[in-house]
Amino acid sequence: MAPKVLISDELSPTAVQIFKDRGIDVTFEPTLGKDKEKLAAIIGNYDGLAVRSATKATEKIIAAATNLKVIGRAGIGVDNVDIKAATAKGIIVMNTPFGNSITTAEHAIAMMMALARQLPEADRSTQAGKWEKSRFMGVELFGKTLGVIGCGNIGSIVADRAIGLQMRVIAFDPFLSEERAVEIGVEKVELPALLQRADFITLHTPLTERTRNVLNASAFEQMRTGVRIINCARGGLVDEHALAAALKAGKVAGAALDVFEVEPAKENVLFGLPNVVCTPHLGAATSEAQENVALQIAEQMSDYLLKGAISNAVNFPSITAEEAPRLRPWVKLAEQLGLFAGQLTESSIKGIRLEYSGTVAELNVKPLTAAGVAGILRPLLSDAVNMVSATTTAKDRGIVVEETTRTQDGAFEGYMRLTVVTDDYERSVAGTVFSDGRPRIIQVRDINMEFETAPHMLFVRNSDKPGFIGNFGMLMGKAGLNIATLNLGRDKPGGDAICIVTLDEPMPEPVMNQVRSLPHVVRANRLAF
């Protein structure tokens, strides 16, 4: 059956056609997003939801989305999607960070120019029949210092355009490396230095708890008198009341804003102030950008639903269409290793280590780590844990997740080892994928053995003493339980031994207790995969 996608906002007809051409069953209802009740009533029928900004994918909507696998936001901002709720449910959330980058950057440059030369006020004055040439004394951009807060996709384009105008560009971005700063021609600085040196300040950062009101009263005090502020990123980055006070006091010479704390902005403390330029969130409002983001999100969602490829996800590592087939058996192995370890872990987990060796180390290991962590946590936290939510869930519980890669080490071309760290011990399990594409576990507790997982299994740890196998076999026979496979391993003669058994049906609890009572048995656990 073809995957089903619902488009609940206005989206280009070309995007609808892309879904159809890719074999997706698409429903186009561009006004549905405004009807929360109707959306909640039908969302359970769909595998994918494509939105712009009008649809609010709230916790309630996501709770009703019983089959939803992906939410695609045509645009960069995902404020209208409850990412935490989506992540907890294993729903991939995608955006299109590049589709409107140029358009938004150009709008920021246009706003800076309009602000520098007071163009909106001059236009209104002139069209009112006035000729106030002496009133509108602007400033040049040439030779001025532009401070860029957030130098990612959009910020770096703004910086490039500003350099073309022969401005000096300084940038504050915790994620901007010195090498990248040199490459794009900006000087990397800390925020206080930017505030003190910049003639113009433009913001290009997401709205988070750390960036909310990054330009507040304290920040304005640090700025040079006559600074001009441009915000085409997100409302809430600038404390609007503090900005209004700074404008009235003459500390800030002007401000250009495309975004506001409350939108639609029908009224605002900044409205009516001199040398304030306002536009109604037009950053991405060009015909080219609207078309680009629509086409991009249609392709991304189709690739995920049909091939398992993940791109521009805000809550999961990217997987290319080329990577997906190679990763699939290793993802399965990682999940199995995690399930194996999780079902045998009875102490509080402090850490999880994942080691990748040989050919698997050359792959994109982030999805493998997510699958392994999900496998470990699922027996402990129920089915609420999934690949998408696993690493976040682990972090929330104070579990440290580590991953390492190395070249080939040992007899296998590629293998992975998963280690669970508790207060009392460390336990490892390792596995590989054979040429037939089927995952195998190859080591348990540093004891070499080889087996495939199955729905009904039994783990027995015992002392390596004569009589165990005979007693165990007799017990299974008396209980009428058929042994499908039996794998044995030990660390040394007479030392610790492990027995992995595959059964045709679940082990009844009374028989389980009898196994635990057998001579030489240290531990016995049911396993299910």
Q: Which amino acid is at 148?
A: V
Tell me phi and psi for residue 480, to 5 degrees.
70, 25
CA dihedral 168, 172, 173, 177 (to 10 degrees): 60
Contact 376, 341 (CB under 8 A): yes
Choice among 161, 281, 378, 461 that is catalytic: 281
Instruction: Please confirm, yes or no, whether 204 is among the known catalytic residues.
Output: no
Structure-derived torsion over alpha carbons of residues 205, 211, 213, 215, reported in degrees to the nearest 10: -60
295 vs 487: CA distance, rounded Å:
52
Marked catalytic residue, from 59, 183, 221, 263 = 263
Q: Give me the half-sphere count of Cα atoms (radius 13 Å) on the Cβ side of residue 42.
A: 15
- What strands lie across the sheet with 145-149, from one edge to the other? 187-188, 168-172, 145-149, 200-203, 227-231, 252-257, 276-278
Indicate if 263 belongs to the active site: yes
Among the listed residues 198, 138, 193, 189, the one whose alpha carbon sits nearest the alpha carbon of residue 167? 198
DSSP 319: B
Nearest to 122 by CA among 266, 270, 254, 280: 254
Q: Is 261 left (phi over 0), alpha (psi -120 to 50) or beta?
A: alpha
Strand order in the sheet with 447-451: 400-406, 349-358, 414-422, 426-433, 439-444, 447-451
Query: What is the largest distance, in Å, between two alpha-carbon atoms of the chain?
Result: 107
| Burial class, 437, CB count within 10 angstroms (exposed 0-12 / middle 13-18 / buried 19+) | exposed
Per-position DSSP letters for 132-181, written without gaps between them? -TTT------TTPEEEEE--SHHHHHHHHHHHHTT-EEEEE-TT--HHHH
- The whole-angstrom separation of Cα 270 and Cα 257 is 9
CA atoms of 21 and 33, how far apart (whole Å): 24
Q: What Å distances lie between residue 315 and 231, 372, 389, 502, CA to CA?
A: 26, 17, 8, 37
234 is catalytic: yes
Q: SS3 of 46, please?
A: coil
Q: CA Rg, the chain, in Å?
A: 30
Rounded distance between C-alpha atoms, residue 316 and residue 90, angstroms: 10
Catalytic option among 234, 417, 440, 461: 234
How far apart CA 273 and CA 250 sit, in angstroms, is 12
- For residue 470 the two structure tokens come to 């005979």
Catalytically annotated residues: 234, 263, 281
